Structures are given as structure tokens and as C-alpha cells.
Chains A and B, each alone.
Chain A
């Protein structure tokens, strides 16, 4: 596929290469997606437990590059982000097409500063980013917020 480039805002910047894991039809439900890790003591991986999310359900979220619109769900989502990073199953990056929501921003920034655990976070990539990217597409993230797909 032809490489496409998108420019977003690096909230927590970094360089990373990997594969995309995409939830474009609905926002990513933070607390609803990690039930096995939150409840069942699972630490080796993070199968998505949100059955309403047809694109991600049962797929491994651990170490992923999550491409979605925003996150939704409980205001305890900020604690969920910190908790999942703590047990090593958090994503490596969040790529948001829209403006980041305050819940995920709280958790991601708190964990980055307080615990020095960085999940690269870029928002405002635009609707065209989500229209272009598909799960398993190669992704290259750059320090300045540039994201290459393909």
C-alpha cells in the first residue's frame, strides 16, 4: 500500500514503529476493555473484553498502537490506564483522530510524569487518518507528531 502521512499533536511524544490496532467505528472503552486484567489477574496479555467493540473484541491490546477517535467510559479510566501500565499490558501508543478526552489525558499524563511510564499519545490526527488506517497496517510514529501509515 502507498504510504500516507498524517500530522497530529504530540501530547506525549516519541518515536515508534509497529502495527496498527484500529477501532474506528466506536471510541475505545478504557475500563470495559481490560476486564480480564482488572479482574482476573491476567498479566501476560490484554484481550479486549468489550463485546460491543466488534473491531477489537478478544484482540490483544498489550503493547499495541491503538488507533481510535477518543476514549470513553468511567471517570476511573485514568486509574485504569495507570493500572494497566503498572502490570505491563498497557499500549505503546494511542493515536486519536479527535481531541483527546480529559479522562485518558489525566491517566496518561499522570503516569508519564509521576511514574515515568510513557505511552506515546498523539491526538488531532483527523478523520482522514482513521479512514486510511486498518488493523495490522505498519505504522511509524515520529517525535513531532507525524504518523506514517503503510
Chain B
């Protein structure tokens, strides 16, 4: 079936954030040519089926976070409930009897006092809460953050549900933020090949965005995964219950901001936003925020934050780490606009290599400041990350470029989205290095991922630098870098380099420290020995 024929006839045409792990496995299109057995339907369960041609863009899109596969692509046997609370010891007999206590008002909603749609949402939430042993429902505060950013065809059933809610007049309890769009047809995907894939693959993007507008997220300029930066301002006070989705935002919110949220799946985030309530369990409880791991960072220099995050994610999976040895990088134990990117880089890597939804940094993060090592559970395990271990972790990052010794063709900076401080830092590092080398323009395009208000602030406060960055070939975009790095054919046409351990985890991009990246951007070659 040709792609255009398919698009005309089918309702399901998706795209997904991709995983780098899939690149070590056989190409689906190749694997799909060898099967000979024919069968179909439910009665043929377990039979081997012949393949059907996938549209070109599908083959590089399998999945993301915590696949339960090792860096060798083999199953690890590791599991995660994605709620941060290990349920390994849960027993069926006890679990099936659990029922949350509901207030009279909640019972009334369940019985339809506020309409059929809200009653259904409440029924879903109660069932979900009971499944995870929640004590009760709690009122949400601050503002929601949603990861519903992909208007792909297979999400149609969920988008339809949300549309029905919007038509019934339901709305989020507060204006909310949403993850960045998966494309930017102005600055990054401004070519016919990308646009064709985007408009076919994200065929429900318009419907999804119309849903968001009606449910309470009207501003596309504020689309970002880093909703907590000053320019966006979705950073509720410590202790606030929220129901956030997006692994890196959940991870940062729980840890650096001291919020209380579970790692919510797509759709469940907006459902909870419409009810303004969340089941109290897992990472929202004192018990669920206790640490099972003591992580001692003992590197002789400032650690590679992304590599440390990957190491922790692989080791802890969804357990909670209590990390020591990092407070010296946060003056006075304060997380500020100038240093939050360190936690953002480390935390997002823990969430992508594992399923860590919360970490504590001794002397820095709110829970750790308040409770100190009392957060450690009895019988906790210890993991030391020293220079040798950090190097060992970095050595496990394979070179996935098809042409392994080729020169890089683009740099990708900022996943999760850059803070203002990072943008200025990178702008100065790159342009000063170019000036020193007597060059006007970088050897390769540099994509800088950031929310639009961060870009606007740069223009307003550092206009000369912004202008120089533009001339140097540094492109500001508010799209999702992982979505771009996962596009069909990306690995064949782009040999990318990045400062994001998270993006590396999902793509063919190669991960390097900042100084190596600056040289690479200026010279168009990876320095020898890097």
C-alpha cells in the first residue's frame, strides 16, 4: 500500500518519540520480508503473520523510556509501575479489597451531580486510584502540565474522549502548560520532505490543539517541556499536589521544586486536570518519597551531569535515589535560574534511562534539606559514581551513525528545553570561539531548543548576542528535539551531536561534553580523542 493511499483510507497514522535502542535491532522493513505463514483474526492467536509494508517514517519509531532492555538490546527483566513506588510485594488478595475513601461531594460527582461526562471521569479516576492503593483523592493546586503533544492518528480515540469533555464544557482547574510541538515548519522542518511526513503523520495535531485551547491551554508560545523556567512560570510551591505528565518535568518538579506528583500517563493528566483531583499514592506520599538508594558522586571534577543521570537511571530504574556529593555545585544549597540546568540535565537522564520520578540531592532539594538522610529507607543500597564509573558509563554510549567516521552535520542543544542562562552561555561560548577562529559562521547548524519567551528575552536583553548567534547559524526553535531526531531518515542524512543525555538515549545523536561540542561546532569535526 502506498503511503498516500493509506492516508486516504486509514484513521490511524501516528508518530512517536523514538528510542536509540531500536537502532541496534533489525530494521523492521527488512525483518518483515521473511515471514511466509498466513493467518488472521482472534482465532489465530499465536500464529505467525505475514508483514504489511510500513510507511517509511514508521520503521524508526518504536518507543521511549524504560524499555526493560539493556544497552546491548537484550531484556534486563527490570520492571516499573511508573509510579515510583515499588509494588513488587503487593499481594492480590489484599490489593483487590482496597477502596479509597471518597467525600460526599466526590460521591455526588460520581453519581452524576455535575453531568455524565464528569461522572465518567470520576469513575475512571476512582478505579485508577484503587488500582494503585490510593488512600483518597486530594485537591490539586498550582497548574497542570500535560505531555499530550502528539496529534497522531492512533491517539484518535483519546483525543475524541477529550473533545467530548470539551464539548461538555469541562475545563482544567487552572490554565496549564503543554509539551512542545513535535515539529517546527518555520525553522527546522522547513522543507517539503519533512512537511509531507509531518502533515501525514500528525494528522490530528489540529484536533489536539483545539482540545487544548478549550480545556485551558491557549498559548502555543508557552509550549515547552521545561514549564518551570522563569519565563513560563509553572513552578508551584513545594508540597503542592499536581498531576503532571512528561517524565523530565515530573522528575524536576518532584525533586527540585518539591511538588507532589506521580508520573502520569498521557490522557490521565488532563482527566485529573478536569476534575482538579488526584488519587493520593506513590510519589505524592511521604512514604513513597523515601529513598532506596544512596548514590555517592565522588568525581574529582564537576561530574558529567547527563552521564551521572544515565548511571542512576540504569541502577535505580524507578526506585528513588538520595544523591550526595553535588551540593558544592549549588552555592548556599540554592537552586537558581543560573544552575537549575544541572539538575535538569541529570534528572531527565535518570527518567529516560530508567523511570526515576523523584530524586533527592543532599543539601539542595527541598525534601533532602528538610529530612536529610532520614529519607533513606532501612536497608538502602549504595552506588558510588567516581571518575572510573562515570567513564565506564560513557563508554557504553555507542556510535550509532551509519557512517561511523563521518563528520558531524548538525548540533542539537537543549533537551529538555534550554533555560535563558543556558542560551546565553551557549551563545557566548560558540560565538566567542568563532571570533577567535576568525569565522563568521559555525561549520554546522546549531539547533537551540527553547520556549519562545526565552528566545524573546534573549532578543530583549542580549540583542547584540542574539544577532551574532543568528549570523553564526544558531537556530532557536520551540519544538521537541527528540521528535526531530526520531524522524524517518534522520540517521541517514544527519550525523548529529548533542549535549543531552536524554536525546542520546532516544536517537542516533552522539553525546559530548560542552568543550568538545564547541570545537565540533566551530571546526565541523569531532576533536581527536573525544
Contact = CB atoms under 8 A, between A and B. Distances in A.
Interface of A: 7-11, 18-19, 21, 25-27, 29-32, 34-45, 47, 49-52, 57-60, 62-65, 69-70, 72-80, 82-87, 92, 98-103, 105-107, 109-115, 123-126, 135-136, 145
A82 B154 CA distance: 8
Contacts of A44: 40-41
Interface residues of B, number: 90
Given A40-B6, A109-B124, A75 B131 contact: no
Max chain B C-beta neighbours (<10 A), residue from A39, A41, A82, A99: A39
Nearest to A10: B96
A62 B40 CA distance: 8
Contacts of A45: 39-41, 44, 49
Given A19-B45, A52-B69, A38 B154 contact: yes
A95 to B, nearest CB: 12
Contacts of A106: 128, 264-268
Nearest to A6: B92
A70 B79 contact: yes
Contacts of A65: 45
Max chain B C-beta neighbours (<10 A), residue from A37, A44, A57, A59: A59
Given A103-B265, A106-B268, A32 B46 contact: no
A26 B69 contact: yes
B46 A64 contact: yes
B42 A102 contact: no
A110 B92 contact: no
Given A9-B92, A76-B266, A110-B158, A39 B54 contact: yes
B28 A49 contact: yes
Given A31-B16, A102-B81, 13 more contacts: A35-B28, A39-B61, A40-B1, A58-B49, A75-B263, A82-B267, A101-B83, A102-B262, A102-B265, A105-B131, A110-B271, A113-B123, A124-B95
Contacts of A34: 154
Nearest to A104: B265
Contact of A25 (B75, B127, B158): B75
Contacts of A123: 92
Contact of B28 (A37, A51, A78): A51
B267 A26 contact: no
Interface of B: 1, 6, 9-14, 16-17, 21-22, 25-26, 28, 31, 35, 39-55, 57-59, 61-69, 73-75, 77, 79-83, 87-88, 90-93, 95-96, 120, 123-124, 127-128, 131-132, 147, 150, 152-158, 161, 245, 247, 262-268, 271
B344 to A, nearest CB: 19
Contacts of A60: 39-41, 44-47, 49
Contact of B90 (A50, A83, A99): A99
B27 to A, nearest CB: 9
A112 B128 CA distance: 12
A8 B268 CA distance: 25
Contacts of B45: 18-19, 21, 59-60, 62-65
A26 B77 contact: yes
A29 B63 contact: yes
A99 B131 CA distance: 9
Contacts of A80: 154
B204 to A, nearest CB: 11
Contact of A31 (B62, B158, B267): B62
A64 B40 CA distance: 12
Contacts of A113: 120, 123-124, 127
A31 to B, nearest CB: 5
B10 A41 contact: yes
Given A45-B41, A107-B267, A75 B147 contact: yes
Contacts of A72: 63, 66-68, 79-80
A110 B21 CA distance: 30
Q: Which 6 pairs across A and B sit closest by C-beta, in order of nearness?
A: A63-B42, A41-B10, A99-B87, A26-B75, A39-B58, A47-B49
A47 to B, nearest CB: 4
Given A40-B1, A50-B62, A110-B268, A35 B80 contact: no
Contacts of B65: 73-75
B25 to A, nearest CB: 5
Max chain A C-beta neighbours (<10 A), residue from B1, B62, B66, B128: B62
B154 A27 contact: no
Contacts of A83: 12, 14, 153-158
B289 to A, nearest CB: 17
A59 B49 contact: yes
A50 B28 CA distance: 8
Nearest to B246: A75
25 contacts: A7-B92, A10-B96, A26-B69, A27-B79, A29-B67, A30-B63, A37-B154, A38-B154, A40-B55, A42-B52, A44-B40, A49-B54, A62-B45, A70-B80, A72-B63, A77-B266, A83-B14, A98-B79, A102-B82, A106-B268, A110-B267, A112-B127, A114-B124, A114-B161, A115-B161
A58 B245 CA distance: 32
A78 B267 contact: yes
A63 B267 CA distance: 24
Contacts of B158: 78-79, 82-83, 110
